[in-house]
Amino acid sequence: MAVLPIEMLGSEVLRRRAVEVAEIDETLRILIADMFETMYDAEGIGLAGPQVGVSRRVIVVDLQREDSQPFALINPRLVESGRETDKAEEGCLSIPGVGAAVERPDRVVVEGLDTDGHPIRMEADGLLSRCLQHEIDHLDGVLFIDRISPLKRRMVLQKYKRAERAGGASSR
Ligand code: NI
């Protein structure tokens, strides 16, 4: 297993639509193991393929709670979104050091495959719902800063650039 370099804001792969995984093979399993290691190293709770430069539809999540378990999801799809919304602070390992409150549907239903190729259906609310939406966004080339107001986005980006100039933003 290896900690992979994380793609940062400005990297083209973060803006591309990732392609469906056609085959769950050893290469993909190694990628997933590396993504977990990379996510834990950066102290994140979710990571998507494009963030490690791999434009394929795979995510890993670990909310790091006693009642939660780490999981990988292949070709995840949002099949239902709640009508109600929630607003809460988000950050991203690809835009370290800054965060913003993002409004999203409060609950979602997500379908995909596990690492054995078995179909999974997850009904999620709260932090898990938010995390799944954030990571699936990554697979479509969307970042959380795209989901805040232009004014707020400018502020977040200014802060990010300042932190970057000041000698590398710390993670999260
Ligand atoms: Ni992110």
Query: In this predicted structure, what is the pLDDT of residue 170?
Result: 54
Distance CA 149, CA 131 (A): 20
- What is the 90 CA–ligand 1 centroid distance (Å)? 8
Out of 12, 66, 135, 164, the active site residue is: 135
Q: Return all residues near 35 (Cβ < 8 A) that are at least 6 apart.
A: 4, 47, 49, 52, 58, 60, 72
User: Is the distance from CB of 24 to CB of 41 less than 8 angstroms?
Assistant: no
Does this model's pTM top 0.85? My answer is yes
Query: In this predicted structure, what is the pLDDT of residue 26?
Result: 96
Quick check: helix, strand or coil at residue 131? Answer: helix
- What is the 94 CA–ligand 1 centroid distance (Å)? 6
Element (H, E) at 164: helix 150-165
Closest of 96, 98, 108 to residue 133, by C-alpha = 108
Told to judge if 135 belongs to the known catalytic residues of this protein, a careful annotator would answer yes
Tens of pLDDT along the chain (172 residues) come to 899 999 999 999 999 999 999 999 999 999 999 999 999 999 999 999 999 999 999 999 999 998 889 999 999 999 999 999 999 999 999 999 999 999 999 999 999 999 999 999 999 999 999 999 999 999 999 999 999 999 999 999 999 999 888 875 554 4
- What is the 37 CA–ligand 1 centroid distance (Å)? 16
Query: For the residues of 30-79, what is the DSSP string, one character each?
Result: HHHHHHHHHHHHTT-SEEEGGGGT--BSEEEE----TT---EEEEEEEEE
